[in-house]
Structure 1
Amino acid sequence: MAKVYTHYGLWLQEEEENQVRIGLSLWGQDSAGEISYYELQEEGAFKKGDALFSVEGSKAVTELEAPFDGEIVQVNEVLSAHPEDLNDKDEDKNWFVLVTTDQFKAEDYLVEDQPID
């Protein structure tokens, strides 16, 4: 399935029914600058609007919010030791988590990686 984007720098991709992979979009990378630190804020279940990730870059420290309710089922463990992978354009490297949710609808998100003005 095609990726969709939040207006604050995440990409979302449905992997299979009720499973969504969440990563940092190119726009999100550009907004933060060169990323040197990453922290997962929540583990397990989360609610829409909860701070899920904290990203520290050369331009900003940003908390990224959950776009929907869900539960984390897989974490990209490599990011703990190598947060610089979030700077990579290769989305096999710059994803945060795989989550389960029954609230994801691709049409609720942007089809292009850009902020809403």
Structure 2
Amino acid sequence: MTDLTALSYTSEHEWIRIDGDMATIGVTDYAADQLGDVVFVDLPAVDAAVSSGQVMGEIESTKSVSELYAPVDGVVVATNADVDANPGLVNEAPFDGAWLVKVRLSGEPAGLLDRSAYIGLTGQEA
């Protein structure tokens, strides 16, 4: 089980785990719940450059289509083939098996939220 307090968050409902110059990115449980049943994800290609705050893909559910935003600047080094094959993993395990992309950072992340600030933003229970 992932320690949710060890992650950073964005106001667009992405989570990020930074380890050295690598960042693993996914969508939060709150986002997954708001989306409903996820049926498709469109992720950036490996080697694609992503810019903080810019759209890097889409996530489609039975309710809507939402954009995925890059929380950091960098280059995509991996995408989650399991989520590509089974988008429902986003609903089942948003913090564990359903990471979306891994990015090699090209700068210092800025503007990220800690868990308590994210909970305050969403009104979730801690």
2:87 is the counterpart of 1:83: yes
- The answer for the alignment partner of 1:31 in structure 2 is 34
State, as a whole percentage, how many aligned pairs show the same letter: 26
Compared CA separation, residues 13 and 115, structure 1 to 2 (3 A): same
2:108 corresponds to which of 84, 94, 103: 103
Runs of at least 5 residues in structure 1 that lack an aligned partner in the other structure: none
String of CA shifts for 1:7-61, please: whole Å, max 9, x gaps: 11111111x2111100110111122111111111454212223321211113321
The size of the alignment, in residue pairs, is: 114
Q: Which has the higher strand share?
A: 1
String of CA shifts for 1:70-98, please: whole Å, max 9, x gaps: 11111111122111111123623111011
The TM-score normalised by the length of structure 2 is: 0.78
The TM-score normalised by the length of structure 1 is: 0.83
Q: Which has the higher helix share?
A: 2
RMSD: 2.2
Question: Structure 2: how far apart are the matches of 1:114 and 1:98?
Answer: 24
